[in-house]
Amino acid sequence: MASSKLSIYAFLLWLLWFHVFPPMDAQLMWTSIYLGSGNSQIDLWTQEAKGCACPWNRTDQQCACCVSEGGCHCGKNAPNRCTQCGLEEHCNHMCNVTIISSELMARSGKSFGQIKSPSLEGPDACWYTFIPSSTQRVEVQIYRLVNAGKHNGTSCVGGFLQLAGGPEPQYSQTDNQICGSNERYAPPVVFFADDGLATLLFQITEKTRRSQFLAYFSFTSINNSDGLGYQPRGGMKLQNTDCDWLYQDFACNKSEQEGNSCVLASPSYPGVYPPYRQCKYHITTSNENIQVRISFTALLLPQNCKTDYISIYQGSTTSSPLLTTLCGNQRKTLEYYGLNLLVEFRSGSQKPPFDYNGFVATLKFSERSLTTEATTTVHIHPRTTMSNLIFPMNESITSTPETSSCDILISGNNTRSGHFDTREHEWHPICRLVFQGRVTDVVHVSFFNYRLRTPSCKSVIEVIDNRIEDKRSIIDRICSPILKQSRDQDYRSAEPTFLSTGNTMIIILKRSSAPLSTNEAEFLAGAYFFHDEQISGTMQPNALCDVKFNGINSPLAGMIDNPGTQHLYWNIDGPLSCRQQFIPSNNQSITIKVQSIENMSKEPNCVTQCGDNGCRCVSSSPLKNIDHLMLLGDNNLNIACLCGSFQTEGLPVSARTWGSLTVIYSVAYYTWTKKGFGFSASYAFNTDTICGEHIYTVHSGEIVMKNLTPPENLNHFYQQSCTWTLHSNVERQLELDITSEQNRPCTAWNISIHEYSPSPENQHLGELHHIFCSRDNHKSYLLPWKLNTVVIRLFTLSRTLPQFKIKWRSQVVRANTRFIGAPSAAPNAVSSTDYLEPNSMSLLYMLLILSKLCFWCGPSGLNR
């Protein structure tokens, strides 16, 4: 019998040992599985081999005695054994079994059990599928392996045991596979799977006489308080990534109020982590003064930091400045400030005996005390350092006698936003205000009040953009006499603001008349703001608050929120509208998820209506008079507009687009004291090629829309305007075949077939020939002879992603032979070379040659 071969008694001895004396290293954890009493027990479910009534003959006392909670007799074929209730039919051959948590619980009252594989003759395989409930994770503990492959130093050969998650599990050498010819694991090798359903596969690929393993399994609660439920918590898993997460301060704060702080953990913690992984945990805060405390409560990695380590970066990418690297078992608490931090976890190859289980860290956010900075917005530095630092060369500036000038340095290292006023400083004929930001900052300055008294430009204000060292340009020059008082009748709206191109801006105030009294003095006052373009998008010129994020160089994920909190907005008394635009690059899409909206004025005359085609603001008065938040696609296509009575239960509202996506924040009447409404949204540039290639020069092929995992929130909208150009340099007749199994309204999505237009605007869409709607199910289109280049466009605005297949093929003719019956060159036919871009020439020559070989390029080309 299998049990004796595996020397179950020996196991039990050390199983007991480990459960009575918990493991020394508390970081390794597994669910303790032990039942019954005393160490004379035969196995998990069999109390004694003999001495109890046989279920089939009550007077016969020769049968095994079962553990009272959950043990059931194996029956006639194995009178001396018991097993877990519910699994009786697998008593003698526990192979290819599906174990459903709820059923196991109902039958045996237990959420755990044991798997003892039959003795297999390789090559062969057994699988075990576990179906947990939604609040459980699957845990497998492996204690014993016999003749199950070998580890050759990098991977398993000849056989393995692997736990893989998901309905279509992948078994791969770059995942956690364990193997060995005669292994006893104490502590056990512990795997966790968190994707719902999980399958344990025992696969022997070489010839063996007897291959076997022993494991325990558990459906472990995700809120297990002993740490077994640990997994990333409070964060957001980033779509299309293996193991990347986003943690946002406000979300963590919220979850903390509910009693759970945010938790980062390596995949499948506290089980063994998988090999060859790079997991990125992005941490974002809503302002620079928020301190992030990362406490590594558990850490167990190999000692040398070469292949398995954790790196923390100040910024959002791995090319940002490296703050620290951790490995081994140095638990630590680290504190940083910053809008973006990146925690990167990397693992190398597998490391027998498979007991490195990664890390767990908790996150805490707290505000830095601002008392000192709020009152002293400027810092005066000795002139000598300043002149060396900022004014190395220009005569007109350095020629001023040193004694008669002052320099005021305002550093973006210390304060990100504030007021300045030259009256707070000692009077000098020349004062320089130097705003110096961090490397990725630009400086934004606005003047609220100034007074220059002397006639004919004897006093002057100069605004200088100091791009890099010796590249300076004067942006503006204000001559005396002039008086400006903010908030007087003439200046009700936003002030002109000055924006630097680099991280430094210099403002020079030259005064020619010494003041008789402070009241009369010439002065300048305003506000400034350091804007980090790496994190908050590229500022757009001539605008107070418009930014752009380009998918190529922006962080791939982050947060945005409402503008209007910086001092620069102090002077605004009227409407405020800000555009934050996201532009994905070619093979990206952008997802924006509006997570929260606060304090939006409850206009009774505007309601938000959401349907399959997005959300709309339905209002009786013009939208500009109403606070609202909009998500717009390309060409100002409305995807979502949220206003007035919009209630938070509609949130989150999200959109994923393959063209640009713009968030417009509009406050009908902004004042510094009332401010506008608040919102926060997360964004992520997804790498996806769902729109596929854009130009096809092959003569036949197909385009199929890939599937995406559906979003969790109801109000998630897809907007696509994908185009595909089918191009040929030789004369042809195109036949298109479009099928779809969906039955959706034409307005949800449709595919249109156009002539190619050489003009680049409107995506090269020329004259329209056909429109396919999903209700058509299947249509074939035969396009006119010699319409060699066509553009197919998919247009989507819907909650569901379209599903369809487009096939095309071409009839071509030998270069100088005419097709019988085909018309000769049409009078107004455009020479096909008009469509060519110079560098595609050689490709088309190749095509020309190919086309000579291929008279009828049939569907054989489809399955390339």
Ligand X SMILES: *[C@@H]1O[C@H](CO)[C@@H](O)[C@H](O)[C@H]1NC(C)=O
Q: Which residues bind ligand X (CB under 6 A)?
A: 57, 59-60, 95-96, 124-127, 135, 152-155, 157, 221, 223, 225, 249-250, 253, 286, 290, 365-367, 394-396, 411, 413, 436, 474, 585-587, 598-599, 675, 678, 687, 746-750, 771, 795-797
Q: Which two tokens stand for residue 17?
A: 């040992």
Nearest approach in angstroms of CB 603 to ligand X is 16
3-state secondary structure of 842: helix
Q: Are 578 and 544 in contact (CB under 8 A)?
A: yes
Query: Shortest Cβ distance from residue 817 to ligand X (Å)?
Result: 40
Nearer to ligand X, 67 or 738 (CB): 738
Which residue, 302 or 678, is less far from ligand X as judged by CB? 678
Q: How far is the CB of 281 from ligand X (least distance, A)?
A: 18
Cα Rg of the chain, angstroms? 35
Residue 188: count of CB within 10 angstroms of its CB: 23
Q: Which is nearer to ligand X, 294 or 813 (CB)?
A: 294
313 touches 344 (CB < 8 A): yes
- The smaller minimum CB distance to ligand X, of residues 147 and 449, is found at 147
Both structure tokens of 65: 């005695």
User: How far apart are alpha carbons 352 and 302 in whole angstroms?
Assistant: 11
Cβ nearer to ligand X, comparing 599 with 743: 599
Least distance from C-beta 61 to ligand X, angstroms? 8
Instruction: Write down the least CB distance from residue 858 to ligand X, Å.
Output: 30
Tell me the Ramachandran region of residue 17: left when phi exceeds 0, alpha when psi lies from -120 to 50, beta otherwise.
Answer: alpha
- The two three-digit tokens of residue 178, written as one number: 């364990």
Of residues 37 and 689, the one with the C-beta less far from ligand X? 689
Q: Backbone phi, then psi, for 10, in 5-degree steps? A: -60, -40
**Residue 124 C-beta: closest distance to ligand X, Å:** 5
Closest residue by beta carbon to ligand X:
678
CB 621 → ligand X: shortest distance, Å? 24
Task: Choose between 134 and 542: whose C-beta lies nearer to ligand X.
Answer: 134
Q: CA 667 → CA 570, 599, 640, distances in Å?
A: 15, 11, 16
> How far from each other are the two terminal CA atoms of the chain, in whole angstroms?
52
3-state DSSP call for residue 862?
helix
Type and span of the H or E element at 380: strand 379-380
Confirm if 609 and 689 have CB atoms less than 8 A apart.
Answer: no
Structure token digits, residue 664:
């417009």
* Distance of closest approach, residue 356 Cβ to ligand X, in angstroms: 20
DSSP string, 709-773: PPPSSSSEEEEEEEEEEE--SS-EEEEEEEE------TTTEEEEEEEE-SS-GGGGEEEEEEEEE
Alpha carbon distance 600, 677 (integer Å): 5
Min dist CB 33 to ligand X, Å, is 18
Q: Which is nearer to ligand X, 472 or 764 (CB)?
A: 472
For the bound state, the minimum distance from the C-beta of residue 492 to ligand X, rounded and expressed in Å, comes to 23
| DSSP strand pairing (573-583 vs 547-550) | parallel
Nearer to ligand X, 112 or 365 (CB): 365
Rounded to a whole number of angstroms, the minimum distance from the CB of residue 859 to ligand X is 27
When the beta carbons of 60 and 469 are compared against ligand X, the nearer one is 60
The nearer residue to ligand X, 395 or 402, going by C-beta atoms, is: 395
Q: What DSSP designation does 517 have?
A: S
Q: Are 197 and 166 in contact (CB under 8 A)?
A: yes
Q: Are 427 and 516 in contact (CB under 8 A)?
A: no
